[in-house]
């Protein structure tokens, strides 16, 4: 249950936090901006403040419940952490986001960091391209 997750993260169990966490868990779209999360909740009839959404997301991130990404669009998007680490590929036409994990790349990163005298703690890898989804507007353009 969501209450457990919040307690385990050392956060008080409050109504707004539960609403946000539940939305993140139930949304088909896994990568959302703070504004989008806020809008979806308000449209769903909830009473919540935008500042509360930002605060909760910052806390969730600090607790490791969610991850923050900066894709090239410049917008900050949040993603619920579930399962193991992965990177992203974003369609430059329709914005669709897919996830992938590649052991070779992960290992090379560690080797490169070491060779440059860095202790690797994190990385951000995003590929950009055009997808072949039937819904992608750029497919036949």
Binding site for DNA (CB under 7 A): 7, 11-17, 33-35, 47-52, 54-56, 58, 75-76
Selection from DNA, its own copies, none that 81 binds (CB < 5 to 8 A by kind) is none
CB of 11 to DNA, least distance (A): 5
Between 59 and 133, whose beta carbon lies closer to DNA? 59
Specify the residue for token string 């669009």: 73
Residues 6 or more apart whose Cβ sits within 8 Å of residue 125: 87, 88, 105
Angle at 92 between CA 88 and CA 98, to 5 degrees: 25
Alpha carbon distances (Å) from 99 to 6, 22, 41, 137:
26, 21, 26, 21
Q: What are the structure tokens assigned to 58, written together?
A: 């910052």
Gap between the Cα atoms of 112 and 76, Å rounded? 27
Selection from its own copies, DNA, none that 1 binds (CB < 5 to 8 A by kind) is none
Between 85 and 123, whose beta carbon lies closer to its own copies? 123
Selection from its own copies, DNA, none that 129 binds (CB < 5 to 8 A by kind) is its own copies
Residues that bind its own copies (CB under 8 A): 68, 70-72, 74, 76, 89, 91-92, 98, 100, 102, 104-105, 108-109, 112-113, 116-133
């Amino acid at each position: 249950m969501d209450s457990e997750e919040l307690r385990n993260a050392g956060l008080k169990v409050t109504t707004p936090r539960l609403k946000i966490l539940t939305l993140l868990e139930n949304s088909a779209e896994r990568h959302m901006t703070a504004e989008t999360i806020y809008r979806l909740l308000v449209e769903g009839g909830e009473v919540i403040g935008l500042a509360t959404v930002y605060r909760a997301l910052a806390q969730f991130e600090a607790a490791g419940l969610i991850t923050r990404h900066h894709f090239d669009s410049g917008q900050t998007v949040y993603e619920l952490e579930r399962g193991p680490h992965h990177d992203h590929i974003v369609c430059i036409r329709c914005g669709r986001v897919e996830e992938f994990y590649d052991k070779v790349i992960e290992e090379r990163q560690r080797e490169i960091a070491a060779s440059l005298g860095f202790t690797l703690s994190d990385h951000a890898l995003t590929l950009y391209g055009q997808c072949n989804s039937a819904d992608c507007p750029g497919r036949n353009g």
